[in-house]
């Protein structure tokens, strides 16, 4: 890509990529190698931010806590973290990816954010889904928002998206783009032709909080558990920018996100702005966390 082409693309916004892939349970080295190939493919297409699925290095359906403990790694010094850090550094991009994290005897369903300068930070899933409650501890790092050269980035994982408080607090802390590594599964009672519940929730969250959301789901069936694919990228006005992806094929979705335009789009008309309209005389803007509201 020539310098002039790169500058023109930058003016249009940052190219982001959602990588929909199929990790294999327990095949960590193969999963990481495959993820690196997909990261490189996205970077070659011009992506500056690449999001991988939840537990992208290990697979999802652990038979026991002991199996998960054997596969989990410390972050960021573990081999998977180091591989993703090296890829981000060499390609000059940002990567958000789900990982099974071990901290001593404790296990977390986590995601790390890495960039051109190396490791940036970790998010630990707050809301555990189903059998995850037998495997992992609940996240204890809150909802960090990370300053980067492409905007303020935050992370949520899968079932976190069912809780409006997650996206609300991240947007209140200044997030521009929320990366969602996920392993969405079928929801009970879904009508045959209906959009995935996860997609509906994502669109609503993006619109009501004025944030862009990049969701990377996995595909396949693992130990009888099916996954639904349908990854998507939603802009800050709530309209899908790319996807939903296929329910059963690996693919990479791309979209451009202009952070400055996204921030302006929070103003819906001359009178209304989705963040400043909040009624702090009725409810606490930071939902009782005690976190300060950042200056904008």
Query: What radius of gyration do the chain's Cα atoms show?
Result: 18
Cα–Cα distances in Å, from 188 out to 7, 184, 197, 245?
A: 47, 12, 10, 21
Catalytic residue among 28, 132, 152, 158: 158
d(CA 88, CA 91): 5
Annotation marks residue 215 as catalytic: no
Residue position matching structure tokens 């899933």: 125
Catalytic residue among 22, 73, 101, 125: 125
Catalytic residue among 22, 28, 54, 132: 54
d(CA 150, CA 262): 13
Q: Is the distance from CB of 60 to CB of 98 less than 8 angstroms?
A: no
Burial (0-12, 13-18, 19+ Cβ within 10 Å), 247: middle
Which neighbouring-strand residues pair with 97? 112
d(CA 222, CA 224): 5
SS3 breakdown of the chain: % helix, strand, coil, rounded to 5? 30, 25, 45
Q: Which tokens in the block code for residue 155?
A: 């992370």
Q: First and final CA of the chain: distance in angstroms? A: 34
Residues taking part in catalysis: 54, 125, 158
């Amino acid at each position: 890509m020539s310098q002039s082409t790169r500058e023109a693309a930058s003016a249009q916004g940052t190219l982001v990529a959602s990588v929909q892939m199929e990790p294999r349970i327990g095949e960590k080295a193969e999963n990481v190698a495959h993820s690196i190939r997909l990261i490189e493919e996205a970077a070659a297409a011009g992506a500056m931010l690449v999001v991988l699925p939840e537990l992208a290095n290990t697979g999802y359906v652990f038979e026991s806590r002991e199996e998960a403990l054997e596969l989990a790694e410390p972050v960021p010094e573990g081999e998977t973290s180091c591989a993703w850090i090296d890829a981000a550094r060499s390609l000059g991009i940002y990567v958000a990816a789900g990982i099974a994290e071990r901290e001593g005897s404790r296990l977390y369903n986590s995601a790390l954010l890495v960039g051109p300068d190396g490791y940036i930070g970790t998010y630990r899933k707050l809301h555990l889904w189903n059998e995850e409650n037998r495997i992992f501890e609940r996240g204890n790092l809150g909802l960090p928002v990370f300053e980067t050269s492409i905007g303020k980035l935050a992370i949520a994982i899968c079932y976190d998206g069912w809780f409006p408080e997650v996206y609300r607090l991240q947007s209140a802390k200044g997030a521009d783009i929320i990366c969602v590594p996920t392993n969405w599964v079928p929801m009970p009672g879904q009508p045959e032709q209906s959009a995935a519940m996860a997609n509906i929730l994502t669109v609503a969250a993006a619109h009501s909080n004025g944030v862009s959301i990049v969701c990377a789901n996995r595909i396949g069936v693992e130990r009888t558990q099916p996954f639904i694919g349908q990854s998507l990228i939603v802009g800050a006005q709530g309209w899908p920018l790319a996807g939903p992806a296929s329910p059963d094929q690996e693919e990479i979705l791309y979209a451009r996100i202009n952070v400055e335009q996204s921030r302006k789009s929070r103003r819906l008309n001359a009178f209304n702005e989705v963040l400043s309209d909040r009624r702090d005389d009725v409810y606490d803007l930071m939902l009782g966390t005690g976190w300060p509201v950042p200056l904008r």
